[in-house]
Amino acid sequence: MTKRKSWFCLLLAALMLLSACSSSKNESAAPGSNENSSGESSSGLAPAKLKIVLYGDESSRMKELARTEFYDVIKKEINAEVEFQFLPYTEYGGGKTDLMLSTGEDFATYTDSNYTIKSVAKGLYTDLTPYMDALTDLKKHVDEASFRDFQLGGKQYAIPVGNKANSASFYSVLVRQDLLEEVGMTEITSLEELEKFYDEVHKIHPELVGYPGADARRILLYDYTDMNLYWQNEFIALDESAEDDQIISWFETEEFKDYANLMRGWYEKGIIPKYAATNVPQLQSDWNSGKGMFWSGTASRPFEGAASISKAVPDAKLVNYFLGTGRPKISRGSYNTAFFVSAGAKDPERYMMFFNMLQKNQELYDLFAYGIEGTDYTIDANDRLTRLTTDSLIPDWLLMNNSFMRFDTTVPDDIIESFKTWDEGSILSKGAGFNFDNTSVKNEETKLNGVLTEYMAPIGSGFSDYDTAYPKALERLKAAGIDKYIAEYQKQFSAWYAEQNKDK
């Protein structure tokens, strides 16, 4: 009997020891995590660390959420810890981003088709084709055609995010309607009316900036040409009103001359601020702080842009206008942007899982775009949003998807209706989905970009007089190899265009 009792006591002690060890292991896991003792999540994924680069200023609320709710949800969904790193807008498409890519850093951020082409040629992006199965949810809510803009040689190098009205992006002029009405005007339909608007507002608000920008070629299109131009990159445009495969060397056209002279007039008149030539970041800052009279517009900017401006000017109202009519709106597709994964990434598939989360369901969309319900926002019976905090999180423009996006209660019904019908009558660009392989003209392209920065951009922004500066600029353009570049682009585009239209 004594032996049995001793044996029972030993067994009880052993069980208590095992229980204590188990509790100790569980307590070492992150609060609320679904990890087992080896660090794997309930889905069987090993732990991972990701870095997502975003551009702009990181708000204090974004920092807090990245450490708490964002952290917990991402950990639960894909067993990853995400560091959100913010860089100035000036580092997008070059600068610090290029440096991070060239030094092999492990990160992901957003891109555009031209930056994708340049970076893939340098071997800086991961081929994401093998990991497409990770996008099971995103592919349901992002248009299939949007993926083609980021494919090269049949491989997927960036993942499109978003699905919204996108035609005629930057072709409208986004006007401070509150200022327009203050000077007794109701709408703007021509260049003359736009300049009158500036003159009248400048009389009573000389502290404001007319156009805090340096590129208005799309806004002013209706005044300097009868063509319906759509740009493939800084050097090449297409005439969407012509049913052919001819590309246009933009800087060698009479249209560029006419446009440059219009911009020179704006610069001399003061519509474009003098600092625009040397301090580009200040332009964005001035618009966001409500110091600009008008800007380039998109379908979503009347409510997307109002969020930042209303912090400084609570009564600000934004409305899109076109300075001409009669030409169909051109669309590049319905996506907002696209995310690439750096070539130095250790776990590209886990990045793909994170991208999938961004467009997975309403619950995750609300979290990333708006924060925590009851703390950062409320939703009324009509599904309209009221923000309780003004701090930005993951930029709402980046996530916008018709499947999930909500309209703030401050957005007028007419603006919502305009957004929902914006793409009606629009047409897809005849160059949508074409990606240029610059391998044979890589050296020429590098030189051309140098000429663009030093000569062409200042002329096109009105900082330099066309008649004085253009002859030398054209010489540099020719010396850099523009003719070879145009010929190669035309050859590839013609072959691609013929393939797309072979059954028509």
Residue keyed to tokens 């009205």: 165
Q: Measure Cα distances from 278 to 109, 214, 418, 455 in Å.
A: 27, 11, 36, 14
Of 333, 352, 385, which closes a domain? 333
- pLDDT for res 11: 39
| Domain identity same for 146 and 293 | no
How far apart CA 221 and CA 154 sit, in angstroms, is 34
Over 60: is that where the pLDDT of 343 sits? yes
Higher pLDDT, 497 or 307: 497
**Which of 51-55, 196-200, 215-219, 325-329 has the lowest average pLDDT?**
325-329
- pLDDT for res 16: 41
| Domain identity same for 230 and 308 | yes
Number of domains the chain contains:
3
| Domain identity same for 114 and 241 | no
pLDDT (tens digit per residue) in 196-219? 999 999 999 999 999 999 999 999
Over 90: is that where the pLDDT of 385 sits? yes
For residues 391-395, give the mean pLDDT: 90
| Domain identity same for 134 and 217 | no
| Domain identity same for 242 and 313 | yes
Reported as a pLDDT band with limits 50, 70 and 90, residue 113 is confident
Over 70: is that where the pLDDT of 34 sits? no
What phi and psi values does residue 427 have, to the nearest 5 degrees? -130, 150
**Is 417 inside any structural domain?**
no
Q: Are 293 and 179 in contact (CB under 8 A)?
A: yes
Domain with 491 in it? 439-500
Q: For 318, which DSSP code?
A: E
Over 80: is that where the pLDDT of 43 sits? no
Of 277, 307, 333, which closes a domain? 333
Reported as a pLDDT band with limits 50, 70 and 90, residue 5 is very low
- pLDDT for res 40: 54
| Domain identity same for 313 and 196 | yes
- pLDDT for res 410: 86
pLDDT (tens digit per residue) in 304-323? 877 778 888 989 999 999 99
Of 314, 333, 352, which closes a domain? 333
**Is 25 inside any structural domain?**
no
| Domain identity same for 257 and 356 | no
Angle formed at CA 65 by CA 63 and CA 66, multiple of 5 degrees: 65
| Domain identity same for 62 and 176 | no
**Is 21 inside any structural domain?**
no
Over 90: is that where the pLDDT of 172 sits? yes
| Domain identity same for 192 and 323 | yes
Which percentage of the chain shows pLDDT scores above 90?
A: 78
**Is 43 inside any structural domain?**
no
- pLDDT for res 501: 85
Helix (H) or strand (E) holding 109: strand 108-111
Global pTM?
Answer: 0.80
**Is 423 inside any structural domain?**
no
| Domain identity same for 363 and 304 | no
Can you spell out the DSSP letters for 332-382?
S-S--EEEEEBTT-S-HHHHHHHHHHHTS-HHHHHHHHH--BTTTEEE-TT
- pLDDT for res 311: 81
Q: How far apart are the first and last CA of the chain?
A: 96
Question: Residues near 302 by Cβ (< 8 Å), separated by ≥ 6?
Answer: 174, 318, 319, 320, 411, 415, 418, 419
**Which of 15-24, 77-86, 285-294, 418-427 has the lowest average pLDDT?**
15-24
| Domain identity same for 368 and 264 | no
Higher pLDDT, 114 or 125: 125
For residues 158-181, give the mean pLDDT: 96
**Is 419 inside any structural domain?**
no
| Domain identity same for 329 and 196 | yes
* CATH code: domain of residue 108: 3.40.190.10
**Is 404 inside any structural domain?**
no
